[in-house]
Amino acid sequence: MDKQYEILEHPADLKIRAFGKDLPEVFVNAAQAIAFQQLQIPNSKKQIPNEEEEIFIESDSLGSLLVDWLSEILYRGEVNKKVYTDFEVAEFSENPYKIKSKTKGVPFEQKGIDIKAVTYHELEIKKAGDHWEAVVVFDI
């Protein structure tokens, strides 16, 4: 799959469909959608991604795992004033549901869009033929 994600119609919020050859890649591409939306104001400081951070999440379902992991990225972005741009999945399991990722970001003063939160609304993660897809609605 060449495309990382696409934007779907929603009258007020940001709805995306992320693609990937497997679940870890779908997760990463959904996070890339956040990065792309947040980076729309060009960064005046043009810094390259710095220190690596580890994010470890455990949840009770696949949907919650995606929501919780993306929420953690939004949370860290806001308190660390960063946009996270690089994601590498080091561990991924569906039994129990957990993900460990190595993440890097660029410092940021002003982001392009205010993504407030990751919602459960119309959340869908499914296999579509030879690849995986996830639909996520973000509150903006």
**Residues at the interface with other proteins (CB under 8 A):** 7, 9-14, 38, 40-41, 60, 63-64, 67-68, 71, 75, 78-79, 81, 108-114, 116-123, 137, 139-140
CB of 96 to other proteins, least distance (A): 14
d(CA 16, CA 19): 10
**Closer to other proteins at the Cβ: 89 or 117?**
117
What is the 3-state secondary structure of 26-65? HHHHHHHHHHHHHCCCCCCCCCCCCCCEEEEEEECCHHHH
68/133 with CB nearer other proteins: 68
Given a contact cutoff of 8 angstroms between Cβ atoms, the answer to whether 72 and 100 are in contact is no
Least distance to other proteins from the beta carbon of 124, Å? 11
- Please, what is the minimum distance in Å from the beta carbon of residue 82 to other proteins? 9
Structural tokens at position 92: 């991924």
Residue positions counted in the chain:
140
Residue 16 CB, nearest distance to other proteins (Å)?
10
**CA atoms lying within 13 Å on the CB side of residue 20:** 18
The nearer residue to other proteins, 25 or 105, going by C-beta atoms, is 105
